[in-house]
C-alpha cells in the first residue's frame, strides 16, 4: 500500500556507478522504508568464461579502478590455487609489499579527501568547508601538500613493481613478473618510514579534532549510527588482522567467534540474496539465514571492512597499530564496537599497520632475491583467492578446464558484503531525522555521513570542491506531485 | 570572477572509475588545470543534477570528458544530453574509445549475464528465481532500474566524438598533454586519437632484441616460462599485442615484464585491431607445413578474447552473433 | 507470398595468377557454375587482410572464400602460406564470434583448373544454402532485448 509520501535522493555518489535512495513516508510522515538502489552490473562472472585463467588478474581489476590492486591480488591468489602452486617466498614478499602500500595510500586518501572532512571540519561546519580545502584550513597547507606527496610516492612504488598503479599487471601463478633491486629497496624504505609517520600523524589529527570534540563523539556513539551485526575479516594464524592472506573469521554481535574457515570453504558460510529493485546482491551468513534488512544475532547480515576486521580479530599484527587498537576499544567501551562512524577510526589504525608492514618487508634484504617465481606443474582445475580489500572481504573463485581456460567464475566483491548494512544504516538515519513529514537539513548531512563511513567502492580521490555530496531529495504527495525539493 | 574560463565537465558510463582516478593522479598538476577552467560538473565529486545540465544552453560546455562504455539506457540518455550541451566531446579511456574490458560482455547477452549473476553462481541463494527488473513493486511502492542492453557500445557508436584519449587508464602525461592542447587550441584534426600514430614496437626498449627475421616456433603462455626482461616477448613465443597497438603509454606493462594486451587501440590506418594483430601474428608463425600449422594454431588459447581484449565493440563484427549466444 | 529458395550471397577473393585465371577458364569453357559467388580479384591470396573477410560478413555475406595458388606455386613464393596460417587462425576467431567454420573457406585452384573452380563454387553454394543465411544480428545491431 502506498499510503504516503516518497522522497528520492538521486544520485548519490561514491558508489561504483550510480546510486539512488528512495524514502517512503507513512501517513504520519515518519519514515516507513528507505531503499538504496544500485543500477549497475557489468557481468564479469559471465564474460570470464572462455578466458585463459592467467589473464584473469589482468581482466578483473577493471571491476574497480580505485581498488584494482585488491582485485589483482585476489585474482592472482585464485590463480595460484587453480594451479596448486605456492608463490616463491620472495614473490610473496613483493606481493605483500605492493598490497600493504596500496592499503596505506587508499585508506589515507579516504580519510583526508572523503570521509575525513566531515570529522575534521565538523558536522556543523558550512558545507563549503567540508572538503580537503577545509581540512587544510584546519591543519595547515603544508600538511595538505604532504598528503598529496605521500599518496604519489606510495603509488609510485606500486607503479614500479606492478607496471601501472591503475590496473597493475605483475601477478602470475607462483609469484610475480618483476623483482626489486637494492637501489629501489633503499629508496622505498624511506617512503615506508615516512608513511608510518604520516599514519601516526593522521591518528593524532583524529584525536585532536574528533575525539576531543564532544559533540562529534556523541554522534559517533549515537543510536542513529549504530547497528549490531556479525563481523567478518581475514586473520593470520594468531588471529591478528592481515590484509593479504589468512583464514576468514566471523564473530557474533556479542564478539564471540562464530566461524573460522579457509578460503576454499567460503560456500559453506556465505550466500547471496537477490532483490528485484537493485542490481547488487546481498551476502549473508548461510548458517544464520536471511531474515531481511535487520540486525542482531538472528539475522545473517554481516559487515566487512575496517571496523569489522578489527572486531573479528584479536588484535593488530604490528606494534604501533596494536597500541592504537587497544586505545580505540578502551575509549569506545570494549569489543565489539557497533558504531558505524568508528569505521573511520579503524581505517586509520589499519593504515598504520599497513605502513609498519611496508617497513618490515623493506628492511628484509631477502626481498631483493631474484627468485620471484615458481613455475606451476600441476593440471589446473579450481581455486579460491581471498584478500581484504580496503572495503571488505574480496573473494575470487575460478573453475577451469585442464588447459586452464575459465569455465566458471564467482565473485563476491568487498563493498557488497556491506550492502545490506548500508541499506539499514541509511534507513536508520532517515528514521532518526525525518519525523512528521519534516525533512531537516540535518538529514542530508547525516545520511551522507552514515553512507560515507563505509567508504563504498569507488571513492574517487577528490571529495567535493565545494564540499558537498550531491543529493536531491524530492518529496511527493500521494498524487505524485512534487511538493518540495531539497537540494545541495 | 572570470566568466571567460572555459567550462569543463566529466561524466562516467559503464566505468570502473580508473579514468576518474587518472585525473586525480595528475596530483600537484591538477591545481594548474583547476585554476584554468570552470568545472561545471563531475558527478563523483560535485553537486550534479541532471536538470541543471538540461537547463544549460546548448553548446555552453567547452569540453566534456566521458569515460566508460555504454550499456544502460540511462547512460545513453546522459551522453546524448551532454553532446547537445558541449562543443567538444573527448572519449576518455579504452572503454569510451573502443568498449574496453566491459566489451567482453559482447560474447554474451543480457539473459546469459543475468542468469549467471542472479541464478547460477554457486553462492547465490535464489530459489524463487528473482532477477532485477526495470520496474518492480515493493510494499506497493514502484521502483525503477535503467534497462541493461544486450550489446556494449563504444561512445562513438552512440554520439559524435571529437577526440579520443586512449589507454586503460590513460597515463598522466597523455592527459596533461591533451588538456593543454585543448586549452591552447592546438588540436589535431577532429576524430584524432591524442597519442602518436606509431605502434608500440617503435618505442619499445626490447625492439633491438628482435632477430633479423622474427619467427615463432612454439607459443608459450606467460605462466609457462620464465620471462626474460630484456627480450621481445614475441621472440620468446609469448603473445604481445605491441605490433598492433598504438604507442604513448611508455610501455608500462612491458617494463613490469608482462606482455602488451592492446589497451591503447590501433593506429590510424587500422579499422579492426584484433584482425590486424591476427594477420601479423599468423605471418610470423615459423612453419609452412600444413599439419604443423594446424598444431601450432591449436595452441593459441582464446584468440578472440586475447586479440580483442579491449576492442571488441569497436571491431568490425562488434560482437558474437546474438543468435549463437546460449 | 511465395516461398523463395534462399540464395546465398558469397564473396570470393581470388588471386590473379592462379585462381582468377582458373575461374576465367571455367567461364570461357562455358561451364555452368552457381552465380552466387561475387569475385574480387587480388594479386595474391596473401594479400587478403582478415579485415576484408570480416567486412564481407558484416556487410551481409553468408560465406567467404579465399582461393590461391597451390602450396609451393605461389607467384610471390610464400604468400599462400601466410594465407593458410591466417585462415586457420581466423576460423577459430570466427567460431568464437558465432560464425560457423564452414562459412569461411580456403581453396587452392590453379590457372588450369576450371573444373575445380566450378566444383568449389557449386559445393560452397549448396553448403551455405543448407546452413542458411548468416543474418548477422538480425541485420542490425541489437541494443536492447525486446
Q: What is the pLDDT of residues A140-156, one digit of tens each?
A: 777 778 888 898 899 99
Q: Are residues A251 and A197 in the same domain?
A: yes
Q: Which of A360, A393, A419 is the last residue of a domain?
A: A419
Q: Comparing B28 with C94, which gets the higher pLDDT?
A: C94
Per-window interface: A 35-64 vs B, CB < 8 A: 35, 37, 39-43, 45-47, 50-52, 54-55, 58-59, 61-64
Nearest Cα residue in chain B from C86: B282
pLDDT band at A442 (very low <50, low <70, confident <90, very high): low
Alpha-carbon span A245 to A231, nearest angstrom: 17
Residue in A316, A309, A305 with CA at minimum distance from that of residue A336: A309
Chains interfacing with B (3 or more CB pairs < 8 Å): A, C
Interface test with B, best of A25, A27, A47 (most B CBs within 10 A): A47
Q: How many CA atoms lie within 13 A of A170 on its CB side?
A: 33
Query: Distance from B282 to chain A by nearest Cα, in Å?
Result: 20
Q: How many CA atoms lie within 13 A of A217 on its CB side?
A: 13
Residue A80 placed within a domain: yes
Q: Is B201 on the interface with C (CB under 8 A)?
A: no
Judged against a pLDDT cut of 60, whether residue C34 lies above it is answered with yes
A218 three-state secondary structure: helix
What are the residues whose beta carbons fall under 8 Å from the beta carbon of A474, sequence distance 6 or more? A6, A7, A8, A10, A482, A484, A485
Q: Are residues A36 and A105 in the same domain?
A: no
Chain segment A255-305, per-residue pLDDT in tens:
999 999 999 999 999 999 988 777 778 899 999 999 999 999 999 999 999
**DSSP-derived pairing of the beta strands A270-273 and B148-153:** unpaired
Q: Are residues A179 and A160 in the same domain?
A: yes
Judged against a pLDDT cut of 50, whether residue C143 lies above it is answered with no
Share of residues in chain A with pLDDT > 90 (%): 57
Lowest-pLDDT choice from A163-177, A271-285, A459-473, B236-250? A459-473
Q: Is B150 on the interface with C (CB under 8 A)?
A: yes
Which residues in A250-279 are b (16+ Cβ under 10 Å) and which e?
A: bbbbeeeebbbbebeebeebbbbbbbbbbb
A465 three-state secondary structure: coil
Inter-chain CB proximity C78 and B288 less than 8 Å: yes
Look at residue B50 in the predicted model and tell me its pLDDT: 73
Inter-chain CB proximity A163 and B100 less than 8 Å: no
Nearest Cα residue in chain A from B139: A1
Judged against a pLDDT cut of 50, whether residue A463 lies above it is answered with no
Alpha-carbon span A224 to A233, nearest angstrom: 25
Look at residue A422 in the predicted model and tell me its pLDDT: 86
Inter-chain CB proximity B278 and C134 less than 8 Å: no
Query: Distance from C32 to chain B by nearest Cα, in Å?
Result: 32
Residue in A100, A138, A106 with CA at minimum distance from that of residue A119: A138
**DSSP-derived pairing of the beta strands B61-67 and B7-12:** parallel
Alpha-carbon span A443 to A484, nearest angstrom: 15
- Asked whether the beta carbons of A55 and A47 are under 8 A apart, the reply is no
Inter-chain CB proximity C96 and B149 less than 8 Å: no
Chain segment A107-141, per-residue pLDDT in tens:
988 888 777 766 666 666 665 566 666 676 777 77
CA–CA distance from B149 to each of A46, B108, C33, C121, C144 (Å)?
15, 11, 44, 40, 5
Q: What is the mean pLDDT of residues A391-417?
A: 93
Chains interfacing with A (3 or more CB pairs < 8 Å): B
Residue A101 placed within a domain: yes
Residue A386 placed within a domain: no
pLDDT band at A468 (very low <50, low <70, confident <90, very high): very low
Q: What is the ipTM of this complex?
A: 0.93
Residue B298 burial (CB < 10 Å; 0-12/13-18/19+)? exposed
Residue B126 burial (CB < 10 Å; 0-12/13-18/19+)? middle
Nearest to B125 among A17, A273, A376 (CB): A273
Q: Is B111 on the interface with C (CB under 8 A)?
A: yes
Q: Are residues A35 and A71 in the same domain?
A: no
Share of residues in chain A with pLDDT > 70 (%): 81
Give the total number of structural domains in chain A.
Answer: 2
Look at residue A449 in the predicted model and tell me its pLDDT: 73
The ranges assigned to domains in chain C are 10-139
Q: Which residues in chain B are contacts of A266 at CB distance < 8 A?
A: 123
Interface test with B, best of A18, A23, A43, A270 (most B CBs within 10 A): A43
Nearest Cα residue in chain B from A472: B49
Chain segment A204-218, per-residue pLDDT in tens:
988 988 888 888 888
B163-165 β-sheet, strand order: B38-41, B7-12, B61-67, B86-92, B163-165
Q: Which residues in chain C are contacts of B290 at CB distance < 8 A?
A: 71, 84
Residue A393 placed within a domain: no
Q: Which residues in chain A are contacts of B116 at CB distance < 8 A?
A: 43, 45-46
The residue assigned the cell 569489522 is: A308
Grid cell at residue A331: 575509549
Query: Distance from B15 to chain A by nearest Cα, in Å?
Result: 7
Give the B:C interface size as CB pairs under 8 Å. Answer: 113
Query: What is the dihedral sign for C-alpha A136, A141, A143, A147?
Result: positive
Q: Is B62 on the interface with C (CB under 8 A)?
A: no
What are the residues whose beta carbons fall under 8 Å from the beta carbon of B31, sequence distance 6 or more? none
Query: Distance from B305 to chain C by nearest Cα, in Å?
Result: 9
pLDDT along chain B (326 residues), means of 10: 75 88 78 77 63 88 94 90 96 97 94 84 82 76 78 96 96 91 91 96 94 92 97 97 97 97 96 97 92 94 97 96 90
Inter-chain CB proximity A281 and B117 less than 8 Å: yes
Q: Is B69 on the interface with C (CB under 8 A)?
A: no
Q: Are residues A11 and A160 in the same domain?
A: no
Lowest-pLDDT choice from A427-431, B27-31, C45-49? B27-31
Nearest to A163 among B19, B45, B258 (CB): B258
Interface test with A, best of B41, B77, B103, B121 (most A CBs within 10 A): B121
Query: Distance from B142 to chain C by nearest Cα, in Å?
Result: 22
- Asked whether the beta carbons of A321 and A242 are under 8 A apart, the reply is no
The residue assigned the cell 551532454 is: B82
Nearest to C98 among B272, B282, B324 (CB): B324
Segment A60-64 long-range contacts (CB within 8 Å, at least 24 positions apart)? A60/A396, A60/A411, A61/A167, A61/A168, A61/B16, A62/A167, A62/B16, A62/B18, A62/B100, A62/B101, A62/B102, A62/B168, A63/A411, A63/A413, A63/B16, A64/A16, A64/A413, A64/A457, A64/A458, A64/B16, A64/B17, A64/B18
- Asked whether the beta carbons of B122 and A269 are under 8 A apart, the reply is no
Residue A398 placed within a domain: no
Look at residue A76 in the predicted model and tell me its pLDDT: 98
- Tell me the pTM: 0.91
**Structural domain of A445:** 6-41+434-487
Residue in B91, B99, B62 with CA at minimum distance from that of residue B163: B91
Q: Which residues in chain C are contacts of B320 at CB distance < 8 A?
A: 96-98
Residue A392 placed within a domain: no
Look at residue A279 in the predicted model and tell me its pLDDT: 73
The residue assigned the cell 578502551 is: A330
Query: Distance from A468 to chain B by nearest Cα, in Å?
Result: 7
Chains interfacing with C (3 or more CB pairs < 8 Å): B
Q: What does DSSP assign to residue C67? A: E
Nearest Cα residue in chain B from C49: B279
Q: Are residues A30 and A165 in the same domain?
A: no
Look at residue C78 in the predicted model and tell me its pLDDT: 94
Q: Are residues A322 and A197 in the same domain?
A: yes
Inter-chain CB proximity A151 and B133 less than 8 Å: no
Q: Comparing A8 with A96, which gets the higher pLDDT?
A: A96
The residue assigned the cell 612453419 is: B287
Residues belonging to chain C with any Cβ–Cβ distance to chain B shorter than 8 Å: 49-51, 54-55, 57-58, 71, 78, 81-82, 84-86, 88-90, 92-93, 96-99, 134-138, 141-145
Q: Comparing A356 with A15, which gets the higher pLDDT?
A: A356
Q: What are phi and psi of B253, to 5 degrees?
A: -70, -40
Interface test with B, best of A4, A19, A40, A290 (most B CBs within 10 A): A40
Query: Distance from A265 to chain B by nearest Cα, in Å?
Result: 11
Look at residue A12 in the predicted model and tell me its pLDDT: 53
Look at residue A462 in the predicted model and tell me its pLDDT: 22
| Whether CATH 2.40.330 fits C10-139 | no
* The dihedral formed by the CA atoms of A429, A430, A431 and A437, expressed in degrees to the nearest 10: 150
CA–CA distance from A346 to each of A75, B210, C98 (Å)?
26, 52, 51
Q: Is A144 on the interface with B (CB under 8 A)?
A: no
Inter-chain CB proximity C50 and B285 less than 8 Å: no
Chain segment C115-142, per-residue pLDDT in tens:
999 999 999 999 999 999 998 866 554 4
Q: Is A130 on the interface with B (CB under 8 A)?
A: no
Q: What does DSSP assign to residue A224? A: G
Domain architecture of chain B: domains with CATH = 7-101+150-184 (3.40.50.700), 110-149 (no CATH), 200-314 (no CATH)
What is the 3 state secondary structure string of chain B?
CCCCCCEEEEEECECCCHHHHHHHCCHHHHHHHHHHCEEEECCCCCCCCHHHHHHCCCCCEEEEEEECEEEEHHHHHHHHHHHHHEEEEEEECHHHHHCCHHHHHHHCCHHHHHHHHHHHCCCECCCCCCCCCCEEEECCEEEECCCEEEEEECHHHCCCCCEEECCCCCCHHHHHHHHHHHHHCCCCCCCCECCCCCEHHHHCHHHHHCCCCCCECCCECCCCCCCCCCCCCHHHCECCCHHHCECCCCCHHHHCCCCCCCCCCCCCCCCCHHHHHHHHHHHCECCCCHHHHHHHHHCCCCHHHHHCCCCHHHCCCCCCCHHHCC
Q: Is A14 on the interface with B (CB under 8 A)?
A: yes
Q: Are residues A27 and A54 in the same domain?
A: no
Amino acid at each position: 500500500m502506498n499510503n504516503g509520501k516518497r522522497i528520492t535522493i538521486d544520485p548519490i555518489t561514491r558508489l561504483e556507478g550510480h546510486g539512488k535512495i528512495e524514502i517512503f513516508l507513512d501517513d504520519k510522515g515518519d519514515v516507513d522504508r528507505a531503499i538504496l538502489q544500485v543500477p549497475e552490473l557489468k557481468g564479469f562472472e559471465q564474460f570470464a568464461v572462455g578466458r585463459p585463467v592467467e589473464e584473469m588478474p589482468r581482466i578483473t581489476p577493471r571491476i574497480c579502478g580505485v581498488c584494482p590492486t585488491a582485485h589483482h591480488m585476489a585474482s592472482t591468489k585464485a590463480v595460484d590455487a587453480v594451479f596448486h602452486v605456492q608463490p616463491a617466498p620472495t614473490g610473496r614478499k613483493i606481493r605483500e609489499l605492493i598490497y600493504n602500500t596500496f592499503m596505506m595510500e587508499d585508506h589515507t586518501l579516504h580519510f583526508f579527501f572523503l570521509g575525513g572532512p566531515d570529522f575534521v571540519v565538523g558536522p556543523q561546519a558550512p558545507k563549503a568547508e567540508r572538503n580537503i580545502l577545509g581540512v587544510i584550513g584546519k591543519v595547515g597547507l603544508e600538511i595538505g601538500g604532504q598528503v598529496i606527496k605521500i599518496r604519489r610516492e606510495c603509488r609510485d612504488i606500486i607503479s614500479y613493481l606492478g607496471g601501472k598503479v591503475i590496473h597493475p599487471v605483475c601477478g602470475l601463478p607462483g609469484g610475480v613478473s618483476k623483482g626489486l633491486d637494492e637501489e629501489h629497496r633503499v629508496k622505498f624504505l624511506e617512503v615506508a618510514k615516512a608513511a608510518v609517520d604520516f599514519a601516526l600523524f593522521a591518528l593524532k589529527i583524529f584525536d585532536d579534532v574528533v575525539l576531543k570534540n564532544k559533540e562529534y563523539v556523541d554522534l559517533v556513539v549515537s543510536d542513529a549510527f549504530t547497528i549490531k551485526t556479525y563481523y567478518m575479516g581475514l586473520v593470520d594464524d594468531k588471529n591478528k588482522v592481515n590484509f593479504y592472506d589468512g583464514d576468514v573469521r566471523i564473530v557474533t554481535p556479542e564478539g564471540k567467534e562464530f566461524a573460522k574457515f579457509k578460503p576454499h570453504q567460503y560456500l559453506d558460510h556465505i550466500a547471496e540474496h537477490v532483490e528485484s529493485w537493485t542490481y547488487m546482491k546481498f551476502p549473508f551468513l548461510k548458517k544464520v539465514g536471511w531474515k531481511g534488512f535487520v540486525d542482531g544475532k538472528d539475522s545473517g547480515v554481516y559487515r566487512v571492512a575496517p571496523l569489522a576486521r578489527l572486531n573479528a580479530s584479536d588484535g593488530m599484527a604490528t606494534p604501533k597499530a596494536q597500541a592504537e587498537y587497544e586505545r580505540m576499544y578502551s575509549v569506545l567501551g570494549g569489543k565489539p564496537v557497533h558504531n558505524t562512524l568508528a569505521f573511520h577510526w579503524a581505517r586509520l589504525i589499519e593504515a598504520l599497520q599497513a605502513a609498519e608492514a611496508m617497513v618490515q618487508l623493506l628492511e628484509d634484504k631477502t626481498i631483493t632475491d631474484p627468485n620471484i617465481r615458481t613455475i606451476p606443474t600441476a593440471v589446473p582445475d579450481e581455486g579460491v583467492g581471498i584478500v581484504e580489500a580496503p572495503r571488505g572481504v574480496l573473494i575470487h573463485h575460478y573453475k577451469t578446464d585442464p588447459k586452464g581456460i575459465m569455465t566458471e567464475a564467482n565473485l563476491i566483491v568487498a563493498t557488497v558484503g556491506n550492502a545490506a548494512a548500508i541499506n539499514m544504516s541509511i534507513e536508520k538515519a532517515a528514521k532518526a531525522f525525518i519525523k512528521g513529514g519534516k525533512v531537516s537539513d540535518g538529514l542530508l548531512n547525516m545520511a551522507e555521513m552514515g553512507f560515507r563511513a563505509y567508504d563504498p567502492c569507488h571513492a574517487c580521490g577528490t571529495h567535493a570542491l565545494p564540499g558537498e555530496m550531491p543529493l536531491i531529495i524530492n518529496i511527493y504527495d500521494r498524487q505524485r506531485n512534487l511538493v518540495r525539493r531539497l537540494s545541495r | 570572477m572570470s566568466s571567460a574560463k572555459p567550462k569543463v565537465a566529466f561524466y562516467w558510463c559503464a566505468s570502473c572509475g580508473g579514468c576518474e582516478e587518472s585525473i586525480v593522479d595528475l596530483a600537484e598538476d591538477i591545481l594548474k588545470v583547476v585554476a584554468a577552467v570552470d568545472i561545471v560538473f563531475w558527478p563523483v565529486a560535485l553537486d550534479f543534477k541532471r536538470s541543471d545540465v538540461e537547463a544549460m544552453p546548448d553548446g555552453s560546455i567547452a569540453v566534456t570528458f566521458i569515460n566508460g562504455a555504454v550499456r544502460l539506457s540511462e547512460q545513453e540518455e546522459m551522453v546524448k544530453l551532454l553532446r547537445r550541451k558541449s562543443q567538444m566531446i573527448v572519449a576518455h579511456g579504452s572503454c569510451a574509445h573502443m568498449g574496453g574490458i566491459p566489451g567482453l560482455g559482447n560474447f554474451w547477452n543480457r539473459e546469459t549475464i543475468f542468469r549467471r549473476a542472479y541464478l547460477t553462481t554457486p553462492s547465490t541463494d535464489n530459489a524463487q528465481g528473482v532477477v532485477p527488473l526495470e520496474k518492480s513493486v515493493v510494499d506497493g511502492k514502484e521502483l525503477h532500474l535503467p534497462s541493461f542492453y544486450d550489446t556494449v557500445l563504444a561512445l562513438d557508436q552512440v554520439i559524435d566524438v571529437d577526440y579520443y584519449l586512449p589507454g586503460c587508464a590513460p597515463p598522466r602525461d597523455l592527459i596533461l598533454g591533451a588538456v593543454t592542447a585543448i586549452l591552447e587550441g592546438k588540436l589535431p584534426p577532429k576524430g584524432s586519437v591524442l597519442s602518436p600514430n606509431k605502434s608500440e614496437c617503435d618505442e619499445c626498449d626490447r625492439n633491438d632484441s628482435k632477430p633479423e627475421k622474427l619467427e615463432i616456433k612454439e607459443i608459450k603462455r606467460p605462466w609457462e616460462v620464465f620471462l626474460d626482461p630484456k627480450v621481445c616477448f614475441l621472440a620468446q613465443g609469448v603473445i604481445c599485442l605491441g605490433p598492433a597497438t598504438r604507442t604513448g603509454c611508455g610501455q608500462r606493462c612491458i617494463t613490469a615484464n608482462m606482455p602488451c594486451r592492446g589497451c591503447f587501440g590501433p593506429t590510424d590506418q587500422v579499422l579492426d585491431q584484433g584482425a590486424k594483430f591476427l594477420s601479423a601474428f599468423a605471418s610470423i608463425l615459423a612453419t609452412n607445413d600444413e599439419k604443423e600449422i594446424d598444431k601450432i594454431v591449436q595452441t593459441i588459447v582464446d584468440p578472440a578474447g586475447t586479440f580483442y581484449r579491449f576492442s571488441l565493440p569497436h571491431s568490425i563484427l562488434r560482437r558474437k552473433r546474438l543468435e549463437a549466444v546460449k | 507470398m511465395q516461398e523463395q529458395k534462399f540464395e546465398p550471397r558469397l564473396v570470393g577473393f581470388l588471386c590473379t595468377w592462379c585462381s582468377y585465371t582458373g575461374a576465367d577458364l571455367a567461364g570461357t569453357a562455358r561451364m555452368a557454375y552457381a552465380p552466387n559467388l561475387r569475385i574480387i580479384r587480388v594479386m595474391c591470396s596473401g594479400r587478403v587482410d582478415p579485415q576484408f573477410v570480416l567486412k564481407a560478413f558484416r556487410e551481409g555475406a553468408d560465406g567467404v572464400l579465399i582461393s590461391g595458388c597451390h602450396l609451393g606455386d605461389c607467384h610471390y613464393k610464400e604468400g599462400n602460406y601466410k594465407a593458410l596460417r591466417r585462415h586457420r587462425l581466423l576460423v577459430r576467431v570466427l567460431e568464437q564470434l558465432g560464425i560457423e567454420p564452414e562459412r569461411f573457406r580456403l581453396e587452392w585452384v590453379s590457372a588450369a583448373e576450371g573444373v575445380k573452380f566450378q566444383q568449389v563454387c557449386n559445393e560452397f553454394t549448396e553448403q551455405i544454402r543448407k546452413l542458411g543465411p548468416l543474418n548477422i544480428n538480425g541485420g542490425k545491431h541489437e541494443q536492447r532485448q525486446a
